[in-house]
Every structure is written in structure tokens, then in C-alpha cells.
Amino acid sequence: KQALPPGLSGEAHQAERGTLAKDKMDSWMKAAILREDALRIEALRQHFRQYRYPDVEDPRKVCSQLRELCHQWLRPERRTKEQILELLILEQFLAILPHDLQSWAREGGPENCTQAVALVEDFLFSRNVSFENCWLSLRKVLI
């Protein structure tokens, strides 16, 4: 049995243990919320990027719809210019990666370029491949 710290009764000790359990639960909940937010942002990005011009819509309405989708994705009222640029650069970085790397990186759910680069580096390291060799092998397939 674990000794109680001086001055703590059994009830106080249980309360202390409950706080620790609560802290762990709070940490787990925060991580789950962040994952859910990342998935939501990715869904909004895809919705914006995959929007197609409908045959019967007024061009002003289409443009307005695109503006709304873009605002939902980038949330300029809540993000700084730097954060918005980071999202756009991250999107482009992921888009230009070879397919295997792109899939690996997207599955990792990076929220910024630093995380995306780390995922790509981990992928290459785990396969003992340099980034240059990865691109060269892709070019051979495409040519």
C-alpha cells in the first residue's frame, strides 16, 4: 500500500488520485478535440477545392458560395495572415508530394508544414530512402 503524504487522510488521498485521473481524462479529451478539429478543417478544405461550377447557377451566387466555403475553411476572423499562409503552403506541399509520401503525410494529419516535413522525413528514414531518390524514382515512372 502506498504511504500517504503527511497530513493527507484517506479521503484527501482519493481526491488527489481523482484529480490525477481527471487530468489524464482532460488531456485525452483535448487530444480528441484537436484530432476532430483537424478532420473538420480537412473536410472544409476539400469541400472548397472540389466545388464545381453548376450549370444553372448565377456566377455571382457561385462566387459567393466559394467565398463562404473559403471562409469556413480558413476562418480569417480567427486566424492571422501567417496562419492562413501556413495552411495554404501546407496544402500545396502535400499536393506536390509523390503519391506514397502524400498518403503517408495526410494520414498523419499534419496541422502545419513543420509536422508535414517531419512525417515525410520519418517515411523516408523508415525506408532508408533519400528525398532525391524518391523524386527520381517517381520521374522514371512518369516518363
pLDDT for position 141: 47
Q: Is the pLDDT of residue 61 over 80?
A: yes
Assign residue 109 a region (left: φ > 0; alpha: ψ between -120 and 50; beta: otherwise). left
| Structure confidence at residue 38 as a pLDDT band (50, 70, 90) | confident
Q: Is the pLDDT reported for residue 142 higher than 50?
A: no
Cell 496544402 belongs to residue: 91
Q: Residue 93, exposed/middle/buried by CB under 10 A (0-12, 13-18, 19+)?
A: middle
Which of residues 5 and 124 earns the better pLDDT score? 124
DSSP 50-118: H----TTS-HHHHHHHHHHHHHHHH-TTTS-HHHHHHHHHHHHHHHHS-HHHHHHHHHT--SSHHHHHH
pLDDT for 5-34, tens place per residue?
555 555 555 555 666 566 776 777 777 777
Q: Please give the domain boundaries of the chain with CATH numbers for all domains.
A: 81-143 (1.10.4020.10)
| Cα atoms in the 13 Å half-sphere on the side-chain side of 118 | 8
Lowest mean pLDDT among 35-39, 42-46, 128-132: 128-132
Work out the burial of residue 19: count CB atoms within 10 Å of its CB; fewer than 13 is exposed, 13-18 middle, 19 or more buried.
exposed
